[in-house]
């Protein structure tokens, strides 16, 4: 993961203020397969069209935030709820 640990230590979910963790590569791959099938939506109900390069997930595993070019996209409406991902 290219995110600096110091940054990761201070980042929090903008909605719930939960601690964030790096999403494991296996889960990124699984989500990308679902994105390719058109089965993933952001919190604002718009479809996720671009695959994830990297991602952060809340410690409770309920919301994913994409990381594009080493920049965490920490917008509430751009969170990806994991409830839509089945046995995530």
Q: How many domains does the chain have?
A: 1
82 and 29 in contact (C-beta within 8 Å)? no
1 and 54 in contact (C-beta within 8 Å)? yes
Q: Tens digit of pLDDT for each residue in 33-86?
A: 999 999 999 999 999 999 999 999 999 999 999 999 989 999 999 999 999 998
Between residues 2 and 35, the one the model is more confident about? 35
**Confidence check: pLDDT of 19 > 50:** yes
Query: Would you state the pLDDT for residue 1?
Result: 47
Query: Would you state the pLDDT for residue 50?
Result: 97
Residue 32 lies in domain: 5-85
Query: Would you state the pLDDT for residue 49?
Result: 97
Query: Would you state the pLDDT for residue 88?
Result: 73
Mean pLDDT on 6-11: 91
Mean pLDDT on 22-40: 96
Which of 67, 68, 66, 60 is closest to 88 using CA atoms?
60
């Amino acid at each position: 993961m290219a995110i600096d640990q110091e940054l990761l230590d201070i980042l929090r979910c903008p909605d719930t203020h939960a601690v964030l963790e790096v999403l494991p590569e296996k889960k990124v791959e699984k989500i990308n397969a679902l994105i390719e099938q058109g089965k993933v939506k952001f919190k604002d109900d718009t479809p996720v069209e671009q695959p994830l390069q990297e991602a952060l997930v809340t410690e409770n595993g309920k919301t994913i935030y994409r990381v594009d070019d080493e920049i965490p996209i920490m917008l509430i409406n751009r969170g990806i709820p994991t409830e839509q991902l089945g046995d995530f």
